[in-house]
């Protein structure tokens, strides 16, 4: 997913941001629109219930025109991780007040016009909207709260859509590392660059148990950075190639693409 994110000088706003100010800044800096809605059919917390989770995945599969629920489950997280997580990681990185974290406030209605990678719909009451949280003293501890909730979602989604949890976490970790890379390329202070380095390092040092995996997905991706291709080499295919828009082409960091190239290299030319 490529988006042209407009330039904006960072850390130029007052330290204390209300929800409306954060909403505007997130759209200007990250090209992510946070919409408030007061009617909904599905919430983020519905992904914790197998029957509701299945319905959401089936609807999403129909929307992206794939028959394979494994592909739909993987794409759901690959797309959703951007609007769901970037506003929180942005606020923490820039040391700004952030929205309270609550899956039951996230709306997952699948109207056809919803750009999944650039829109976050929230069902907030006035009290919740005004209750912005102070920047956490320990950013990674706050991230672990988010990861704990995501781990519960991935347990259910993995069973319902038959998606390996390692793939769901790799999708998520990749998006977060891409967020830090995006921010590092912007006009930010030396202090903010230092926070990027520190937060990335801390994420790589988390225990694999924090993700319910044998290995830390952040460390795996970080260790698999390719200078030649300028991307993180994945361990698992995300199944993007099954989408009509992909035309059966693999992502440049897909392990299946590397295997395909290897087969072509060693294919006999004299048949």
Confidence class for position 39, pLDDT limits 50, 70, 90: confident
- How high is the pLDDT of residue 265? 36
- How high is the pLDDT of residue 195? 95
- How high is the pLDDT of residue 204? 96
Contacts of 91 (CB under 8 A, 6+ apart): 22, 97, 98, 99, 135
Least confident interval from 13-22, 154-163, 174-183? 13-22
Confidence class for position 81, pLDDT limits 50, 70, 90: very high
């Amino acid at each position: 997913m490529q988006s042209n994110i407009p330039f904006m000088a960072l850390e130029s706003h007052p330290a204390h941001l209300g929800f409306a100010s954060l909403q505007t800044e997130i759209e200007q800096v990250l090209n992510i629109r946070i919409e408030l809605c007061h009617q909904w059919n599905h919430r983020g917390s519905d992904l914790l219930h197998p029957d509701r989770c299945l319905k959401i995945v089936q609807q999403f599969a129909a929307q992206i025109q794939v028959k394979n629920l494994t592909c739909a489950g993987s794409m759901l997280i690959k797309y959703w991780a951007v609007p769901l997580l970037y506003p929180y990681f942005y606020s923490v990185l820039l040391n700004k007040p952030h929205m309270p974290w609550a899956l039951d406030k996230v709306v997952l209605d699948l109207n056809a016009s919803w750009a999944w990678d650039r829109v976050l719909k929230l069902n907030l009451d006035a009290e919740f909207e005004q209750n912005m949280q102070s920047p956490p003293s320990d950013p990674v501890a706050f991230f672990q709260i988010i990861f704990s909730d995501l781990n519960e979602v991935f347990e259910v989604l993995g069973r319902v859509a038959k998606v390996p949890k390692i793939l769901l976490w790799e999708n998520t970790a990749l998006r977060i590392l891409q967020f830090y890379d995006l921010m590092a390329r912007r006009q930010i202070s030396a202090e903010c660059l230092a926070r990027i380095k520190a937060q990335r390092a801390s994420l790589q040092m988390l225990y694999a148990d924090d993700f319910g995996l044998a290995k830390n997905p952040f460390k795996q991706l970080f260790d698999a950075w390719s200078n030649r291709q300028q991307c993180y080499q994945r361990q698992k295919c995300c199944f993007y190639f099954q989408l009509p828009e992909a035309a059966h082409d693999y992502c440049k960091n897909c392990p299946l693409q590397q295997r395909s190239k290897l087969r072509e290299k060693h294919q006999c030319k004299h048949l």
